[in-house]
Structure 1
Amino acid sequence: MSMFASTFRWLQRKRYQYEVTFSLYMLTPTEKFIFNSFLFLFFSMIIIAMTLYLPQHITFITNRAWFYYNGDESAKSALTSASPVLEAVAKETIAKTAVADLRKEL
C-alpha cells in the first residue's frame, strides 16, 4: 500500500469518525452543509479572536504577575522616574490650551 493510499484511507476514517460522532450521517446534504458552515464560522471566530486579543491578554497577565511579584516599590520608582517627563508634557499642554483660548477670545 502506498503512502498516498494510506493517507487517503486515514482521511476517510477521520471523516467517517467525524460524521458518526456528530450524527451527521443521518442528515440531508443541506443540513450537513448548514451544520458544517456554523461549525466553520464558530471556529473561525475563535481563531480570529485568539490572534487579535490573546497577545494583549498575555501581556496584561504578565504585567500583573510582575506587579504582584515585585510589589509597589517598582511602581513607585517608575512613577518617580517618569514624573519630570510628565510634568514637562503637562506644562506644555497647559500652555498650548491657554494660547488657543486667548486666540478664541480675540
Structure 2
Amino acid sequence: MSQFACWQKWLQRKKHHFELSFAVYMMTPGEKFAFYSIFFLLTALTFIAIILYLPHHISFLVGRAWYYINGEQIDVGEVVKEMSSSVLQPETTGSEVLTTAGEELLREL
C-alpha cells in the first residue's frame, strides 16, 4: 500500500471517529454545514489567538520565573532584541572593511 493511500485511510478513520463522537453523521446536510462552519470559525479564531497572544504570554511567564528565581526584574523582549541585534550586526565585519575601502576609493576619484 502506498504512503498516500495510508494517509488517506487514516484521515477517513479520523473523520469517521469525529462524526461518531459528535453525532454529525445523523444531521441533515444543512445542519452539517452549520456545524462545520461554526467548528471552522472557532478553530480559526483559536489558532489566530494562539499566534497573536501566546508569544507575549510566554515572555511574561519567563519574566515571572526569572523574578522568582533571581529576585530581579527582567524584560525578556529587550533581552531577545539585544541578543538578536548582536548576532545580526557583529562589531567588525568584512562588510565594514569593504565599506570604508569603498569610501576611500570614492574620495580618491
Q: TM-score range by the shorter chain?
A: 0.5 to 0.7
Question: Aligned letter for 1:38?
Answer: I
Displacement of 1:28? 0.4
Amino acid in structure 2 at the alignment position of 1:6? C
Where do 1:80-91 residues align within 5 Å?
A: none
Assess, with a 3 A threshold, how the Cα gap between structure 1 residues 65 and 3 changes in structure 2: closer, same or farther. Answer: closer
Secondary structure of the residue aligned to 1:25 is helix
Cα shift at 1:63: 0.8
Task: Judge which range, 1-10 or 44-53, deviates more.
Answer: 1-10
| Higher RCO (Cα < 8 Å, 6 or more apart) | 2
When the two structures are superposed, what TM-score results if normalisation uses the length of structure 2?
0.59
Q: Tell me by how many angstroms 1:16 deviates.
A: 1.3
Q: Deviations over 1:73-103 (max 9, x none)?
A: x45xxxxxxxxxxxxxxxxxxxxxxxxxxxx
Tell me the equivalent position of 2:34. 34
Aligned length: 73
Judged with a 3 Å threshold, the aligned counterparts in structure 2 of structure 1 residues 2 and 69 are, in CA distance, closer, same or farther, namely closer
**TM-score (norm: length of structure 1):** 0.61
Q: 1:9-28 CA distances to partner (integer Å, 9 max, x unpaired)? A: 22222221111111011100
Instruction: Render the CA deviation track for 1:15-71: whole Å, top value 9, x for unaligned.
Output: 211111110111001101111111111111111111101100111111111111111
| 2:66 aligned residue | 66
Match status 1:20 vs 2:26: no
The range that moved more, 2-11 or 16-25, is: 2-11
Cα distance in 2 for residues equivalent to 1:44 and 1:17: 21
Q: Please name the residue that 1:104 is paired with.
A: none
Consecutive unaligned residues in structure 1, runs of 5 or more: 76-106
CA gap 1:2/1:67 in 2 versus in 1, 3 angstroms? closer
Please say which structure displays the higher CA radius of gyration: 1
Note the aligned Cα RMSD (angstroms).
Answer: 1.6
Q: What's the CA shift for 1:7?
A: 2.9
